[in-house]
Amino acid sequence: MASVFMISVRTTVVTLLVTGVLYPLALTGLSQLLFSSRANGSLVTDERGEVVGSELIGQAFAKPGYFQPRPSAAGAGYDAAASSGSNLGPTSAALRKRVEAEVVRLQQENPAAPALVPVELVTTSASGLDPHLSPEAALWQLPRVAAARGVEPERVRAVVESQVEGRDLLVLGEPRVNVLMLNLALDRQFGRP
């Protein structure tokens, strides 16, 4: 009985060391070596070198000279510690009311935009932290951003189109625009609004 107990203790200790210490250390070291930026959160810096966010986490932009991302249901909004969707279904009266309010707000803030608001600008993503928009949703906001920056719309359109990311591996996902990277590109091109 004692020998069986000692075998189980040794097996437990070896398994704990291999899976709880060695494996995580090896993967952490390998990820730091191969793709350090991603392993450290894909942090984005501005022209002064200050960290302004992450490529992977959406954040709010309220000023009219910036493109706005999807609404967020994470915590109090764009809270990376509380990533979650609203869990409201298509028959939910609360969802309908929130979407209608978002449509009214967006139409008031974007009077020169087309009448039909893109659905992704009024619905949250599953995580509540999606940093991307479709190129169409970004271009819908173009008249407001161009007017607030005092720049011709064609010049802002060129920046949007330069920031479009294609499909992953040429077939996965849809073309998209990272809102943080787009707004930083606008600041680099035209200055801060």
Per-residue burial over 31-54, b if 16 or more Cβ lie within 10 Å, else e, is eeeeeeeeeeeeebeeeeeeeebb
Give the C-alpha separation, 116 to 137, whole Å: 11
Question: Could you list the pLDDT tens digit for every one of the 193 residues in the chain?
Answer: 889 999 999 999 999 999 999 999 999 999 999 988 888 889 999 888 899 999 999 999 999 999 999 999 888 888 888 888 888 888 999 999 999 999 999 999 999 999 999 999 999 988 889 999 999 999 999 999 999 999 999 999 999 999 999 999 999 999 999 999 999 999 999 998 8
Positions of E strands within the chain: 43-45, 51-54, 132-133, 164-165, 176-178
Question: pTM for this one?
Answer: 0.83
Pair of tokens at residue 178: 């990272």
What single DSSP character describes residue 57? Answer: B
The domain segmentation of the chain, as residue ranges, is: 1-40, 42-190
Give the C-alpha separation, 32 to 20, whole Å: 18
